[in-house]
Amino acid sequence: PAAPPPVTVASSSAGSDEELMDGGYFRSCDGMLKVAQMISLLIGFISVNNSSWTDYSAYSFFQIVSMCDLVMILFFYIMHIFRVYRKLTCVSWPLAEFLHYLIGTILLLIGSIVAAAKSYNITGLVAGATFGFLATILCVISMWSSYKVSCITQSTSK
């Protein structure tokens, strides 16, 4: 018996790589939206962190909220890339992501409003609040996308 042709071996190894990682998620709308959110949150955090603060409580709240949102968005991003949601079926991942965006967006909006109100026209603080508002808008778009997937799709399938 002859060994299988190398083309078959290469295609089967490519199939196992595709099962491990979802390469298409990098280029999808949701994937690029998550990356844009993480970048805007990181820029907002760095802008506030490198500025002179006038109100410690307002900006520490903004920093905590922006970093928590960034970590959670990174968590969901990695979860989608490595398809963890297929292995852990005991959790409703669309609902978990929707709730994360709902709570995180409200807290980020509050933090951005307070940061903008207490900025006193200091450039770094204004930039941090602006990127906080940008991240809030991107999170609202993701929340709507998550809602559309989890709630509208389920209601039409019944």
Residue 142's nearest CA partner among 103, 86, 84, 89 is 103
List Cβ neighbours of 49 (8 Å cut-off, separation of 6 or more).
Answer: 63
11 within domain boundaries: no
139/6 Cα distance (integer angstroms): 46
Q: Decide if 131 is inside a domain.
A: yes
Number of domains in the chain: 1
Provide the token pair at 144.
Answer: 């709507």
33: in domain: no
Contact partners, residue 68, CB within 8 Å, separation at least 6: 104, 107
Residue 137 pLDDT > 50? yes
User: Which residues constitute the domain of residue 131?
Assistant: 39-156
Q: Quick check: is 31 in a domain?
A: no
Contact 94/146 with Cβ under 8 angstroms? yes
The answer to whether residue 96 sits within a structural domain is yes
Tell me how far apart the alpha carbons of residues 25 and 144 are, in angstroms, rounded to a whole number: 18
Name which residue leads in pLDDT, 156 or 39: 39
Does a structural domain hold residue 1?
no
Q: How does the average pLDDT of the chain come out, rounded?
A: 84
Contacts of residue 29, defined as CB under 8 A and 6 or more positions apart, other chains included, come to 145
Mean local confidence (pLDDT), 116-128? 91
Q: Which amino acid is at 85?
A: Y
**For the segment 107-121, what is each residue's pLDDT rounded down to a tens digit?**
999 999 999 999 888
pLDDT tens per residue, range 54-74? 778 889 999 999 999 999 999
- Condensed to tens digits (0 to 9), the pLDDT of residues 75-109 reads 999 999 998 888 888 988 888 998 999 999 999 99
